[in-house]
Amino acid sequence: MSILSERLRKLRLKHKLTQKQVADYLGISESGYGYYEQGRNEPSLKSLKLLATKYNVSVAYLTGETDDPQPQLT
């Protein structure tokens, strides 16, 4: 399992959301989102930005570039 898929799953569970709820938020199918958590597909940049906003973390955190979940203020 990749860092991205692991973090997506942990954040979803932390926020007590179902895969269906997150998929609806992204405008994709439930199975499409499930593939993100399984590491079978990777989300688009647009989807990554939406997920980062929803979970109040940085895209860099989602992708494993940093272990600091806080978005960087610019």
DSSP letters spanning the chain: --HHHHHHHHHHHHTT--HHHHHHHHTS-HHHHHHHHHTSS---HHHHHHHHHHHT--HHHHHTS-S--SPPP-
pLDDT of residue 29: 97
**pLDDT, tens digit, 9 for 90 and up, residues 3-56:** 999 999 999 999 999 999 999 999 999 999 999 999 999 999 999 999 999 999
Whole-structure pTM value:
0.90
pLDDT of residue 70: 83
Q: Please name each of the domains of the chain with its CATH number.
A: 3-63 (1.10.260.40)
